Amino acid sequence: MLALDAVIRDRLYSDVVLIRQVAEYIIGSGGKRLRPAMVLFSAGAAGYTGNYHREMAAVVEFIHTATLLHDDVVDESELRRGNKTANAMFGNAASVLVGDFLYTRAFQMMVGANSMRVMEVLAEATNIIAEGEVLQLLNCHDADVEVDDYLRVIRYKTAKLFEAATRLGAIMAGASAEVEEGLAAYGMHIGTAFQLIDDVLDYSGDEADTGKNVGDDLAEGKPTLPLIHAMQNGTPEQAASVRKAIEEGGRDDFLAVMHAIRATGAIEATRKVAEGEAELALAALQALPPSTYKDSLVDLAKFAVARKY
């Protein structure tokens, strides 16, 4: 991971000062580095012995960071990881344009892999992520979103990059189709579990731990699984209060919504779905031989659902 950080900082360099300032601010402001770690772990688990997996891990982190920059502008967010967002610090225009720089730098680095397969996986992932962002935008303030619609957004917007990260490790290792598909499935399920827990923490996390404002999703009118569960399992009055909060956005109904979430067991129900995804992820690793890298993937699955930040 230290070697990866060195690659990230080297590849971030630009002669344009503002690009360096914004990119350094984002990369240096924390973050779990889960997605690039999954490239490293999956490559090792599949038997890769070279060094280029660090470049690909950096590519995945740049794509993720670019999506964060654009997300925060779209969502008008002011806090991430306990710090001011880049758009709050530098303005929307700088955030969008530096996000574009990170995307294009990632594609420059992809070319260096000299692999059409790598290009295909990452090009598809970035395209599907963009579709997921638009789907989420369409779902905002829509209280009639079904669970399948919600999960589709998660698969596109979040899980696809996790899936690409673990598939890349297998590709670089020249792994069998069985191992590649197993690692890709692991990444998809972990990404889904990870987002489900993010949605749980939006209603149950400690702001000091999560580094974001509790209730942000509600303020933006996002119909996440805890809200969908509360509407489907609550009293007519509880369902109506959640529906109103989704359709109107803001925080005026936050207390009523929290009451509905607690009364219907929505947090516990969403956690259970996340735990199911983690179990599917672990089952997908069966084709891998024992290794410290496989152990790390197992630990990561446990962290994805047990975390508080």
pTM: 0.91
pLDDT of 181 strictly over 90: yes
pLDDT of residue 6: 87
| Mean pLDDT, range 48-72, rounded to an integer | 91
Share of the chain above pLDDT 70, in %: 95
DSSP string, the chain: -HHHHHHHHHHT--SSHHHHHHHHHHHTT----HHHHHHHHHHHHTT--SSTHHHHHHHHHHHHHHHHHHHHHHHT--EETTEE-HHHHH-HHHHHHHHHHHHHHHHHHHHHT--HHHHHHHHHHHHHHHHHHHHHHHHTT-TT--HHHHHHHHIIIIIHHHHHHHHHHHHHTT--HHHHHHHHHHHHHHHHHHHHHHHHHHHH--HHHHSS-TTHHHHTT---HHHHHHHHHS-HHHHHHHHHHHHH-SSTTHHHHHHHHHHTTHHHHHHHHHHHHHHHHHHTTTTSPP-HHHHHHHHHHHHHHH---
pLDDT of residue 208: 52
Q: Which of 30-34, 168-172, 226-230, 300-304 has the lowest mean pLDDT?
A: 30-34
